Structure formats: C-alpha cells, structure tokens
Amino acid sequence: MQKLTNKEEEIMHILWKLEKAFVKEIMAEITEEQPHYNTLSTIVRNLEEKGYVSHNAFGNTHQYFPKISKESYRKRFMNTAIDNYFNSSYKNMVSFFAKEEKITAEELREILAMIEKK
C-alpha cells in the first residue's frame, strides 16, 4: 500500500474513530484548520484510490469506511519506521527513547515483564 500524507493519516484516524462517516461528519471532527469541503472530499477519494477506504453510496452522497484496520496500519508504519530509522533494531529504538527521556526505567521494567510472560 502507498504511504499516507500527514493529512490523509489524520483523516484515517477520524474514520477509525467513527467507523463510517460522510464527508460532513469527518469535517466536524477536524479540530485544527478545517479544509474546504471539496478539498476534504478529494482527500477521502484519494484514500479510496490508495485502498485504505471504501464507501456505500446513498444517492449522490457517499458514506466512507476504513478498509484497513488501525492495528494493521500501525504494524506496517512501525515496521517501516524501525527499518528506516533504527536499522531494523528494536534495541536501537528503545535506547533512542531512553536517551530522549521518553521512557522511564519503570516503564522498561514493565516492558521486560510483558516480554518474559510471553
């Protein structure tokens, strides 16, 4: 599947939250600078062309829904990020967050406990 732009990803998060929505319902969920209705409609159609979204037609309007789950997208996104930025090493990723003080020693112990349980 093609990579999503930041705006497309924002729209996907809205669709994952709503599960199905018309463009006007998506628009209502956008908290920051709202795009023009036609711009948003184009973004949603681009998501459909990329295979992330499908729709049910109701006359001239379309109700859109995600074709890919948030979990599937997250897995693909994380694997790509780890491959591209951490040399395919989860150890490098975790050490990066530790150095940036984004993860505490207690959280690392919790992660180790989860790993040991499996």
Q: Per residue in 51-93, pLDDT tens?
A: 999 999 999 999 999 999 999 999 998 999 899 999 999 889 9
**Which parts of 22-89 fold into alpha helices (H)?**
23-29, 37-49, 70-85
Question: Strand, helix or coil at 95?
Answer: helix
pLDDT at 22 over 90: yes
For residues 85 and 68, the answer to whether their CB atoms sit within 8 Å is no
Question: Strand, helix or coil at 21?
Answer: strand
Does the model's pTM come out above 0.85?
A: no
φ, ψ dihedrals at 88, nearest 5°: 60, 25
Q: Tokens in use for 19?
A: 């599960």
pLDDT (0 to 100) of residue 3: 85
